[in-house]
Structure 1
Amino acid sequence: MNMAVLDQETYELAMAFQDALQNDERAEAESLHQLGLRLCQHLVVRYQGQETDSRERAALAPWQERKAKQILESTCQSKLLIAEVASRCSMSRSHFSRAFKKTTGMSPQEWTLKSRVERARHLIAEGSMSMCEVAFECGFSDQSHFTRTFRKLAGVSPKRWQRSQLSSLQVA
C-alpha cells in the first residue's frame, strides 16, 4: 500500500488485515470480521464528506480549454465536428461535451455560436461589409440564419444593433 495516499491508521488497519489473511491460515472469521469492520468504520469517519464530486472532475484542464476554444474559433467557416475537437483534446466526444459545458457553462455548439456572433459584432462595427458578407464570414449558412441567431443571442437584429452602435458613436 502506498503511504502517500493513506493516513497512518488506515495503513495500519489494512496491514493488520492483510497479515491476518496471509499468515494465519486458520484466521477466525470473527477476528477478520472485526478488523474489516474497524477499517471500514475508520474510512467512513475519516473520509466522509471528502469525496470528489464527479462533476468537478469533469472540467477541462486549462490547456484543453485553450485548445478547444482555439479550434472552435478557427472552424468558423467549416463544418464543426465535436468528435474531432474532442479527439484533439485527448477525450471522447461525450466526455468532452460534458467537460466543456462544466468549464464554460455552455455546450461547444452554444459557445461556437456565441463566438460567431461576437465576431459578427466586430465586423458589423467596422462597417466595411454587408450583412450577407458578415453572415458568410462568420460561418452562417445564409443571412436569415445569421439574423435569427444574432437576434436570439444579442436581443436585437444585426441591423438594429449596427444602428445603435452608429448612434452611440455619433453621441460620443
Structure 2
Amino acid sequence: MKFFKSVSAFALTTALMVSLSTAALAQSPEITKESNIQFQSSSFTKPTKISDSEKQQLLLNSVPAVPYEAKATESSVSIQANVNISYQFSNLAQDETIDTINAFTITSTKTVPLTLVQYTGFLGTTDVGYALIDQYGRFVGQIQRVKGDYKGTNITIGFPDTPPGTYNIRIINYGSNGLDGNGYTRN
C-alpha cells in the first residue's frame, strides 16, 4: 500500500510540475506566437504584414540564392550617390516585409552583390527573401531566397543582370518570429 501511495504522490507531483512548467513557458515572450515582438531598425521602413496568398505568390517568384563570387572579367558595380548601403535590424516578425530607407543607383547592367548575416532566436526557422525594388516599389529581377542561419559567418548573394536604376532592398521573412540580420551592398 505504501508503494502505491508513493507512486501516486510522485505521479501527482510530476503532473503538477509539468503543468506549471507549461504555463510558465506559455507566458515566455520568446516562445509564444502571440508575443508582441518589437521590430528595431533605423535602416528600414515600418514592417508590413503579408497575407497567406501574398506569401505564396512571393514564394513562387523566389529562387534559391547562389553564393556570389565576382568574376575576374566583371567590373565592379558602379554605384552613385550612396556608394553602398548598409542595414541592420532585429526582431522582424514572421510574414513581414521591410524596405531599406536608403537607396543606391547603378549606371550599367550588373550583378549587384549583397553580403548578409541572418538568424532567428530560440527554436526558429530562418527562411528569408531578398529583393531589389525600384522607386515605384516594383520588384526588379527575382527574389533571392536564403535559408539557414548565418550568424558567425556571412554569405554574399547576387542580383544578376540588374539594369541601370535606383533601388532599395526588400527583405521578406518567410520563417519564424524574431529574425535578426544585417548586410551591405558593395562595389
Q: Say which structure is richer in helix.
A: 1
TM-score range, shorter chain: under 0.3
Q: Say which structure is richer in strand.
A: 2
- Please, what TM-score do these two structures have when normalized by structure 1? 0.25
- Please, what TM-score do these two structures have when normalized by structure 2? 0.23
